[in-house]
Amino acid sequence: AQSVTQPDIHITVSEGASLELRCNYSYGATPYLFWYVQSPGQGLQLLLKYFSGDTLVQGIKGFEAEFKRSQSSFNLRKPSVHWSDAAEYFCAVGPIYGGSQGNLIFGKGTKLSVKP
Amino acid sequence: EPEVTQTPSHQVTQMGQEVILRCVPISNHLYFYWYRQILGQKVEFLVSFYNNEISEKSEIFDDQFSVERPDGSNFTLKIRSTKLEDSAMYFCASSEGTGGASTEAFFGQGTRLTVV
Protein backbone atom coordinates (compact mmCIF):
# COMPACT_ATOMS: atom_id res chain seq x y z
CA ALA A 1 0.00 0.00 0.00
CA GLN A 2 1.16 3.50 -0.73
CA SER A 3 2.23 5.57 2.25
CA VAL A 4 4.34 8.50 3.29
CA THR A 5 6.31 8.68 6.52
CA GLN A 6 7.77 11.79 8.06
CA PRO A 7 9.59 10.43 11.10
CA ASP A 8 10.19 13.77 12.79
CA ILE A 9 7.14 15.39 14.32
CA HIS A 10 8.93 18.52 15.52
CA ILE A 11 12.38 19.91 14.78
CA THR A 12 14.01 22.99 16.25
CA VAL A 13 17.01 24.60 14.58
CA SER A 14 18.89 27.82 15.15
CA GLU A 15 18.60 30.59 12.63
CA GLY A 16 21.39 30.25 10.11
CA ALA A 17 21.82 26.54 10.70
CA SER A 18 21.24 23.93 8.05
CA LEU A 19 18.05 21.91 7.89
CA GLU A 20 17.06 18.48 6.69
CA LEU A 21 13.51 17.16 6.94
CA ARG A 22 13.05 13.49 6.26
CA CYS A 23 10.45 11.84 4.08
CA ASN A 24 10.17 8.17 3.20
CA TYR A 25 7.55 6.67 0.97
CA SER A 26 6.13 3.38 -0.09
CA TYR A 27 5.00 3.24 -3.69
CA GLY A 28 4.87 0.56 -6.35
CA ALA A 29 6.69 2.51 -9.05
CA THR A 30 8.55 5.78 -9.37
CA PRO A 31 6.34 8.29 -7.66
CA TYR A 32 5.82 11.95 -8.13
CA LEU A 33 6.93 13.65 -4.95
CA PHE A 34 6.03 16.96 -3.42
CA TRP A 35 6.88 19.12 -0.46
CA TYR A 36 4.29 21.58 0.78
CA VAL A 37 4.68 24.20 3.49
CA GLN A 38 1.94 25.49 5.74
CA SER A 39 2.52 28.63 7.76
CA PRO A 40 0.32 29.08 10.83
CA GLY A 41 -3.27 29.71 9.80
CA GLN A 42 -2.38 29.52 6.14
CA GLY A 43 -2.97 27.14 3.28
CA LEU A 44 -0.62 24.70 1.63
CA GLN A 45 2.06 26.19 -0.58
CA LEU A 46 4.07 24.01 -2.95
CA LEU A 47 7.80 24.24 -2.21
CA LEU A 48 9.04 21.85 -4.85
CA LYS A 49 8.22 18.73 -6.79
CA TYR A 50 9.94 15.79 -8.42
CA PHE A 51 8.55 14.14 -11.51
CA SER A 52 11.58 12.78 -13.34
CA GLY A 53 15.12 13.64 -14.41
CA ASP A 54 17.65 15.20 -12.09
CA THR A 55 17.16 13.73 -8.65
CA LEU A 56 18.13 16.98 -6.95
CA VAL A 57 15.34 19.50 -7.34
CA GLN A 58 15.35 23.13 -6.44
CA GLY A 59 12.35 24.88 -5.01
CA ILE A 60 11.25 28.23 -3.76
CA LYS A 61 12.67 30.02 -0.72
CA GLY A 62 16.06 28.34 -1.12
CA PHE A 63 14.84 24.80 -0.47
CA GLU A 64 15.99 21.72 -2.30
CA ALA A 65 15.18 18.04 -2.09
CA GLU A 66 16.88 14.90 -3.29
CA PHE A 67 15.09 11.84 -4.56
CA LYS A 68 16.89 8.65 -3.60
CA ARG A 69 15.21 5.65 -5.15
CA SER A 70 17.33 3.13 -3.27
CA GLN A 71 16.28 4.59 0.06
CA SER A 72 12.71 5.49 -0.97
CA SER A 73 13.39 8.94 0.36
CA PHE A 74 12.81 12.52 -0.65
CA ASN A 75 14.43 14.64 2.04
CA LEU A 76 14.05 18.39 2.10
CA ARG A 77 17.09 20.56 2.79
CA LYS A 78 18.02 24.16 3.25
CA PRO A 79 21.60 25.31 3.90
CA SER A 80 20.70 28.27 6.11
CA VAL A 81 17.37 28.57 7.87
CA HIS A 82 15.63 31.90 8.33
CA TRP A 83 13.17 32.70 11.12
CA SER A 84 10.42 33.00 8.51
CA ASP A 85 10.87 29.31 7.66
CA ALA A 86 9.11 28.34 10.88
CA ALA A 87 6.09 26.40 9.63
CA GLU A 88 4.81 22.89 9.12
CA TYR A 89 6.16 20.90 6.21
CA PHE A 90 4.31 18.12 4.45
CA CYS A 91 5.68 15.54 2.09
CA ALA A 92 3.23 14.06 -0.42
CA VAL A 93 3.33 11.32 -3.04
CA GLY A 94 1.22 10.62 -6.11
CA PRO A 95 -0.43 9.86 -8.39
CA ILE A 96 -2.64 7.45 -6.57
CA TYR A 97 -4.96 5.55 -8.88
CA GLY A 98 -8.16 4.03 -7.75
CA GLY A 99 -9.04 3.25 -4.17
CA SER A 100 -10.14 6.01 -1.87
CA GLN A 101 -7.01 7.94 -1.11
CA GLY A 102 -7.33 10.70 -3.64
CA ASN A 103 -4.63 11.80 -5.98
CA LEU A 104 -2.05 12.55 -3.29
CA ILE A 105 -1.11 10.97 0.00
CA PHE A 106 0.35 13.24 2.64
CA GLY A 107 2.70 12.53 5.48
CA LYS A 108 1.79 13.64 8.98
CA GLY A 109 3.97 16.70 8.71
CA THR A 110 7.05 18.05 10.48
CA LYS A 111 6.75 21.21 12.48
CA LEU A 112 9.83 23.40 12.22
CA SER A 113 10.68 25.89 14.94
CA VAL A 114 13.54 28.36 14.49
CA LYS A 115 15.54 29.70 17.44
CA PRO A 116 16.98 33.20 17.15
CA GLU B 1 -0.79 33.80 -11.13
CA PRO B 2 -3.92 31.65 -11.05
CA GLU B 3 -4.93 30.42 -7.64
CA VAL B 4 -7.62 28.46 -5.85
CA THR B 5 -9.78 30.65 -3.68
CA GLN B 6 -11.90 29.53 -0.76
CA THR B 7 -14.62 31.28 1.20
CA PRO B 8 -15.15 31.87 4.01
CA SER B 9 -11.75 31.73 5.67
CA HIS B 10 -13.34 30.87 9.00
CA GLN B 11 -16.80 29.56 9.76
CA VAL B 12 -18.31 28.90 13.16
CA THR B 13 -21.47 26.83 13.28
CA GLN B 14 -23.62 25.11 15.83
CA MET B 15 -23.71 21.35 15.98
CA GLY B 16 -26.46 19.98 13.76
CA GLN B 17 -26.44 22.91 11.38
CA GLU B 18 -25.69 22.67 7.69
CA VAL B 19 -22.63 24.40 6.28
CA ILE B 20 -21.49 25.03 2.75
CA LEU B 21 -17.84 25.65 2.04
CA ARG B 22 -17.08 27.32 -1.24
CA CYS B 23 -14.17 27.10 -3.62
CA VAL B 24 -13.25 28.56 -6.96
CA PRO B 25 -10.73 26.22 -8.63
CA ILE B 26 -8.24 27.33 -11.25
CA SER B 27 -10.21 27.92 -14.40
CA ASN B 28 -8.62 25.40 -16.79
CA HIS B 29 -8.38 22.62 -14.24
CA LEU B 30 -10.58 19.57 -14.60
CA TYR B 31 -10.16 17.76 -11.28
CA PHE B 32 -11.29 19.15 -7.99
CA TYR B 33 -10.66 17.90 -4.49
CA TRP B 34 -11.55 18.45 -0.90
CA TYR B 35 -9.12 17.58 1.87
CA ARG B 36 -9.38 18.21 5.54
CA GLN B 37 -6.90 18.65 8.34
CA ILE B 38 -8.00 18.17 11.91
CA LEU B 39 -5.89 20.31 14.20
CA GLY B 40 -2.50 18.75 14.73
CA GLN B 41 -3.11 15.91 12.32
CA LYS B 42 -2.23 15.17 8.74
CA VAL B 43 -4.02 16.30 5.64
CA GLU B 44 -6.67 13.72 4.70
CA PHE B 45 -8.38 13.18 1.40
CA LEU B 46 -12.16 13.52 1.33
CA VAL B 47 -13.33 13.47 -2.26
CA SER B 48 -12.36 14.09 -5.85
CA PHE B 49 -14.67 15.36 -8.55
CA TYR B 50 -14.40 15.17 -12.31
CA ASN B 51 -16.83 15.72 -15.13
CA ASN B 52 -19.59 16.70 -12.73
CA GLU B 53 -19.43 13.59 -10.62
CA ILE B 54 -17.52 12.13 -7.74
CA SER B 55 -14.57 10.10 -9.00
CA GLU B 56 -13.23 8.94 -5.64
CA LYS B 57 -14.13 9.37 -2.03
CA SER B 58 -12.65 8.28 1.25
CA GLU B 59 -14.38 6.55 4.11
CA ILE B 60 -14.56 9.92 5.85
CA PHE B 61 -16.87 11.18 3.13
CA ASP B 62 -20.10 9.68 4.41
CA ASP B 63 -23.72 10.58 3.72
CA GLN B 64 -23.37 13.80 5.70
CA PHE B 65 -21.12 15.20 2.99
CA SER B 66 -21.90 16.21 -0.54
CA VAL B 67 -20.15 18.13 -3.29
CA GLU B 68 -21.47 20.13 -6.14
CA ARG B 69 -20.35 22.27 -9.00
CA PRO B 70 -23.38 24.52 -9.23
CA ASP B 71 -22.01 26.65 -12.05
CA GLY B 72 -18.94 26.90 -14.22
CA SER B 73 -16.69 28.28 -11.54
CA ASN B 74 -17.70 27.22 -8.03
CA PHE B 75 -17.11 23.92 -6.28
CA THR B 76 -18.84 23.43 -2.96
CA LEU B 77 -18.66 21.05 -0.02
CA LYS B 78 -21.82 20.70 2.04
CA ILE B 79 -21.99 19.13 5.46
CA ARG B 80 -25.64 18.46 6.23
CA SER B 81 -25.63 18.13 9.99
CA THR B 82 -22.35 19.15 11.50
CA LYS B 83 -20.78 17.28 14.39
CA LEU B 84 -18.12 18.46 16.79
CA GLU B 85 -15.61 16.17 15.11
CA ASP B 86 -16.14 17.97 11.80
CA SER B 87 -14.13 20.87 13.20
CA ALA B 88 -11.10 21.09 10.94
CA MET B 89 -9.37 23.07 8.23
CA TYR B 90 -10.91 22.17 4.89
CA PHE B 91 -8.77 22.59 1.80
CA CYS B 92 -9.98 22.74 -1.73
CA ALA B 93 -7.57 21.81 -4.49
CA SER B 94 -7.60 21.48 -8.23
CA SER B 95 -5.39 19.88 -10.84
CA GLU B 96 -5.23 19.72 -14.60
CA GLY B 97 -5.46 15.95 -14.53
CA THR B 98 -4.45 12.93 -12.53
CA GLY B 99 -1.38 11.61 -14.28
CA GLY B 100 2.08 12.88 -14.99
CA ALA B 101 2.71 16.52 -14.35
CA SER B 102 -1.03 16.97 -14.02
CA THR B 103 -0.75 15.30 -10.64
CA GLU B 104 0.29 18.60 -9.12
CA ALA B 105 -2.52 19.90 -6.97
CA PHE B 106 -2.96 23.57 -6.26
CA PHE B 107 -4.44 24.25 -2.87
CA GLY B 108 -6.57 27.06 -1.56
CA GLN B 109 -5.91 28.85 1.70
CA GLY B 110 -8.44 26.71 3.50
CA THR B 111 -11.61 27.27 5.48
CA ARG B 112 -11.35 26.73 9.19
CA LEU B 113 -14.62 25.19 10.35
CA THR B 114 -15.40 25.32 14.05
CA VAL B 115 -18.42 23.39 15.27
CA VAL B 116 -19.66 24.43 18.71
pLDDT at A97: 64
pLDDT tens string A38-61: 988 778 889 999 988 899 999 999
User: Which one, of B48, B74, B73, B6, lies nearest residue A44 by Cα?
Assistant: B6
User: Is it the case that residue B46 has pLDDT exceeding 80?
Assistant: yes
pLDDT at A104: 82
Instruction: Categorise residue A28: left if φ over 0, alpha if ψ from -120 to 50, beta otherwise.
Output: alpha
* Strands of the B19-24 sheet, one edge to the other: B5-7, B19-24, B75-79, B65-68
Closest B-chain CA to A111: B40
Residue from B34, B91, B103, B109 whose CB has the most chain A CBs within 10 Å, to mutate:
B103
CA A85 centroid distance within chain = 13
Give yes or no for A50 touching B (CB within 8 A): no
What single string gives the DSSP state of each residue in A73-105?
A: EEEEEESS--GGG-EEEEEEEE---STTS-S-E
pLDDT at B102: 65
pLDDT at A27: 86
pLDDT tens string A53-103: 899 999 999 999 999 999 999 999 999 999 999 999 999 988 766 554 567
Give yes or no for A22 touching B (CB within 8 A): no
User: Is it the case that residue B98 has pLDDT exceeding 80?
Assistant: no
Q: Which residues of A touch B108 (CB under 8 A)?
A: 43
Q: Which residues of A touch B56 (CB under 8 A)?
A: 98-102
How does residue B40 score in pLDDT terms, banded at 50, 70 and 90? confident
How does residue B2 score in pLDDT terms, banded at 50, 70 and 90? confident
What percent of chain B has a predicted confidence (pLDDT) above 90? 66
Say if the Cβ atoms of A43 and B45 lie within 8 Å: no
Closest B-chain CA to A49: B104
pLDDT at B103: 66
Neighbours of B38 (CB within 10 A): 13
Say if the Cβ atoms of A94 and B100 lie within 8 Å: no
User: Is it the case that residue B63 has pLDDT exceeding 70?
Assistant: yes
Q: What angle do CA A89, A91, B7 make, to 5 degrees?
A: 65
